[in-house]
Amino acid sequence: MTKTDEIEIILNYHAGNGQAKHACKKVTDFLDKTNIDYTVHTTKKDGDGVRIAETLANEHQGSKIIVIGGDGTLNQAVNGVKKSNYPQTPLGYIPGGSGNDFCRGIKLSIKDPVRLMEAILSMKEPRTIDIGKANNGDTSRYFINNIGIGFDASTVYYTNHSERKELLNSLHLGTLSYFTNLLKVIKVQEGFGLDVDYLNQKKHFNSAYIVVATNHPYFGGGFAIDPTANPFNHNLNLVIVKKITGMTFIKLLSKLLTNGSHLQDKNVWHIETKHFRLKNHSKQHGQMDGEELNQHEFDL
């Protein structure tokens, strides 16, 4: 770290119900103590993460850009950098969200924000990590974790709109919040028609239920939907679960929660590749990195 380096922090102080704010305070106290210049750019509303990251990448190439927030804030910062004139700009990340699936997925072992800041400052070269890119019509967006249609996206929808989310997050029970809404979605989510194009092949599902394209194993704050996904192997994994009910679903869920053997279940279809196309035939909820994509007939 030379004296000329500056730190530009993108902070979502709402993330993790205050955890990001708390992490940022620890980091800035450390930077003050060590006489390192920094600026904190707080997001004021949804979408600010994109705008701030794009501006910083365009105007502060000599600085280190660090994101403090949850997966949604990191997603926005990545998309901001990708829109900028310098799409290869590295980002530092200090997790402060409620789910934090990305840091779980890349097996980030350091938890303390100050130790993470020290590690970022001492890195000579950035570490390269895969991200996914989803095209829908003429828009495209990058994702760090996963993109889902149907069941998991409905769970994200109900979790975000649940009155108990903030209470459970404040008790550090974000995963429980997701889990209780998951039980609600089991009652309401129907199967839907889905076409998948991959490796010059086509596959049709009459009744798809869970559809997740994932960069690493986790979604929903720690559920390993695909334990074999690897964010360093330059592939994306696709998991499709057919509509199942009652005990068949409970058995599959218990496999997912215990040993990951759900991937071998006859109701689960799974591939790992670089490109695929997904088209659903009735309006379904979508999610990208835990953020709602609203209901659409997606063609991704």
Ligand X SMILES: Nc1ncnc2c1ncn2[C@@H]1O[C@H](COP(=O)(O)OP(=O)(O)OP(=O)(O)O)[C@@H](O)[C@H]1O
Residues that bind ligand X (CB under 6 A): 12, 14-16, 43-46, 48-49, 69-73, 97-100, 290-291
Nearer residue to ligand X within complex by CB, 215 or 280? 215
Q: Residue 23 Cβ, how far from ligand X at the closest point, in Å?
A: 12
C-beta closer to ligand X: residue 89 or 98:
98
> Do residues 192 and 208 lie in contact, with contact meaning Cβ atoms separated by under 8 Å?
yes
Least separation, in Å, of the C-beta of 22 and ligand X? 12
**Number of CB atoms found within 10 A of residue 246's CB:** 8
Q: Which residue lies nearer to ligand X by CB, 104 or 262?
A: 104
Block residue for tokens 């000579």: 124
R_g (Cα) of the chain, nearest Å: 19
Minimum CB distance to ligand X smaller for 213 or for 293: 293
Minimum distance from residue 99 beta carbon to ligand X (Å): 3
Q: Count of CB atoms within 10 A of residue 239's CB? A: 25
| Residue least distant from ligand X (Cβ) | 70
Give the number of other Cβ atoms within 10 Å of residue 295's Cβ: 15
Element (H, E) at 150: strand 146-150
- Asked if 175 and 165 count as a contact pair (C-beta separation under 8 A), the reply is no
Taking the complex as a whole, how short is the minimal distance between the CB of residue 300 and ligand X, in angstroms? 20
Question: What's the CA gap between 219 and 200, in Å, rounded?
Answer: 28
Smallest separation, CB 80 to ligand X (Å): 12
Pick the closer one to ligand X by CB: 2 or 109: 109
Are 100 and 81 in contact by the 8 Å Cβ rule? The answer is no
